Structure 1
């Protein structure tokens, strides 16, 4: 089973793929608006401006005030990089093995255990209130925003209006834009601070605006449902409320690795036995890989070990151990893969091409047993 970015949906920001050797291009930076890539900054676009002018009337008809519209669109504009990322989502695919190598990496597990320890009181209280396992809440936080480290800093009004104007999923993103304006109008957060991923997913738990409207919780009682704050309490409560209201069964595990399971997302790989709570996790992100990632990361945060079953060699005949060795040896030869996690992505492919060119080999960027042998 190959997993693509359309299936990953909102979980992709938090996976932090640019931080590994199998990196995909990052959608946002974490250095504030000034640190955004050039293509995620507003550029002049007269057609977009005309669309916004027409949209203002539609928004007003749905109860958005002129003051809210003025504040929300001040300093915003068309973001070409948002359209590029939206149209290129299906270009990259990952096996379940690669997905889990990132989603449940040693770093993510270690950070998850530390985050759980820091917020144990809140997570335990949320488990008591909503019935959702504390480790599951923490794992969703870990996959969605790397425990709050990667919340996204793309202006949501610019992102959703750009995608609504672009039209490929225009109706959906106009709904998100209206919902984002309601968030501003409600006073949950000033328009200037309403930031998220390139697709408008927001905060610690990467809620899209309509999900925020329906499920966000003011857990701290300060009158604002603040999923953006450095304090993750509202966001974690919102994720728990989301799962509870979508049918989570208190006390029931998500599933487990089982040789007798019927779910085997990657041929030749581990099998899983799942429960109704697995299907509830998929309501958060409709992907078997995502739900397995959340469940397994939750187990690891709780002290469990790695999966027992192994994955088969990839299409190039390489096991994960082979791919890690390939990355290590390329880097040792001066062709840096930016890490050795066994996930073959753009950094590794660039290093392979450079090595092949240096050695007078056919430049393909493709890993192989032959390539590995040449590095021994």
Structure 2
């Protein structure tokens, strides 16, 4: 949440941490890797997989004591495989996401938490240049201010996901990183817990990200993102600072677009100073002056019918923590609510239903057949798909906002196509 790989790993963690965590109880001792060798089926194969992992970890410099601590009683948790495969069919609309992530109870509790950790967060801000409200907003969204960061043993979770095989290379790397954390003495195995996807602590770092960004801010010789608030806020701020956060610049601002604005210019790639956008008639809500943003882009998270935002480099840094526009927008809006500022003021197009992955998949296939290539059809509404949709909208004389609506998808279908379900 170093290289781009680290950012990708944070994305995977953020996806798992957005939902409320459910405890997955450890199976009985007979299910451990040590006992599994006498059993048939997955448990025996899991024991063999762990044995091979042990050799890889030893070659990576993990000592014998740590190998025993981490792997002698590692458990296979089949419940996690079910969760990993259970992808929701319908995508969440921006307003549904923000209704939950920036709810009134979360704002009220967050204001109390911001006051409670003000000293630690101010110290982190002085060191890293990231405002306390941004760090506390991430804390609130990732774990509801530390109350829901998960209680699944990280080693068990990652071993289960690695054994399943879909992301084996990634999971092996994270397991070795987790063992390096144990070997370094930052945390004991019993306290190394988190989400089902291996993200740990109050702001949900994966082990490799912990190694790269975690900070011992309280000076006790350990980097503790589970129990030390000084370490939690400083580690989170350190990640953002080293990922491109610009001190003194806002994440963004809600704006009013001038009449006749070409919504096709709100593609994220057209970046220019706020003063240039202002010269073109873009204004902050209430006709206020735009804040200074060096390379701002117009964001229309719900298309031309919804609110508009001018976002800059710091918004893109939030995307490196979790590569979701809804997530980054929720962090920004929650941070300003914690400081007593406004929420989203323009109306969302709540009458529009959510789009399913099946619908997006068929839309991608149809766009490709009609000459608007969006890359591999995967059912995910990413930048390439939005760009292809904009190109189709322009060809059809429609506002090119790149936002899929049921009406647009019906229009896109060719004669003979089956309507998406």
Give TM class, smaller chain: 0.7 to 0.9
Q: 1:203 deviation in Å?
A: 0.5
Counterparts of 2:165 and 2:130 in 1: how far apart (Å)? 37
Find the counterpart in structure 2 of residue 262 from structure 1. Answer: 298
The answer for unaligned runs of 5 or more in structure 2 is 1-8, 37-42, 258-296, 355-421
CA pair 81-127 structure 1, distance change in 2 beyond 3 A: same
| 1:297 is aligned to 2:334 | yes
| 1:278 is aligned to 2:315 | yes
| Match for residue 246 of structure 2 among 244, 249, 257 | 249
Write out per-residue CA displacement over residues 200-223 of structure 1, whole angstroms, 9 at most, x where no aligned residue: 100011000000000000000000
| 1:111 is aligned to 2:109 | yes
CA pair 39-28 structure 1, distance change in 2 beyond 3 A: farther
Find the counterpart in structure 2 of residue 313 from structure 1. Answer: 350
Find the counterpart in structure 2 of residue 209 from structure 1. Answer: 207
Counterparts of 1:124 and 1:276 in 2: how far apart (Å)? 22
1:125-274 alignment to 2 at 5 Å? Answer: 125-229=123-227, 231-260=228-257, 262-267=298-303, 268-274=305-311
Counterparts of 1:214 and 1:11 in 2: how far apart (Å)? 17
Contact between 1:13 and 1:144, CA under 8 Å: does it hold in 2?
no
Counterparts of 1:11 and 1:314 in 2: how far apart (Å)? 28
TM-score by length of 2: 0.67
Counterparts of 1:295 and 1:225 in 2: how far apart (Å)? 27
Q: For residue 94 of structure 1, give the secondary structure of its aligned residue in structure 2.
A: coil
Write out per-residue CA displacement over residues 55-113 of structure 1, whole angstroms, 9 at most, x where no aligned residue: 11111000011211111124321111111111123535210000000110001111110
Contact between 1:255 and 1:275, CA under 8 Å: does it hold in 2?
yes
Q: 1:13 deviation in Å?
A: 5.8
Contact between 2:12 and 2:197, CA under 8 Å: does it hold in 1?
no
Contact between 1:13 and 1:152, CA under 8 Å: does it hold in 2?
no
Contact between 2:10 and 2:206, CA under 8 Å: does it hold in 1?
no
Find the counterpart in structure 2 of residue 28 from structure 1. Answer: 22
Q: 1:154 deviation in Å?
A: 0.3
Counterparts of 2:316 and 2:159 in 1: how far apart (Å)? 32
Write out per-residue CA displacement over residues 123-151 of structure 1, whole angstroms, 9 at most, x where no aligned residue: 11111111011110111111111111112
CA pair 13-39 structure 1, distance change in 2 beyond 3 A: farther
Contact between 1:10 and 1:144, CA under 8 Å: does it hold in 2?
no
The answer for unaligned runs of 5 or more in structure 1 is 1-5, 18-25, 30-35, 318-376
CA pair 172-40 structure 1, distance change in 2 beyond 3 A: farther
TM-score by length of 1: 0.74
Counterparts of 2:79 and 2:248 in 1: how far apart (Å)? 43
Counterparts of 2:30 and 2:338 in 1: how far apart (Å)? 40
Find the counterpart in structure 1 of residue 50 from structure 2. Answer: 52
Contact between 2:15 and 2:322, CA under 8 Å: does it hold in 1?
no
CA pair 316-56 structure 1, distance change in 2 beyond 3 A: closer
Counterparts of 2:136 and 2:353 in 1: how far apart (Å)? 35
1:296-375 alignment to 2 at 5 Å? Answer: 296-315=333-352
Counterparts of 2:252 and 2:69 in 1: how far apart (Å)? 46
Q: 1:8 deviation in Å?
A: 6.8
Q: For residue 235 of structure 1, give the secondary structure of its aligned residue in structure 2.
A: helix
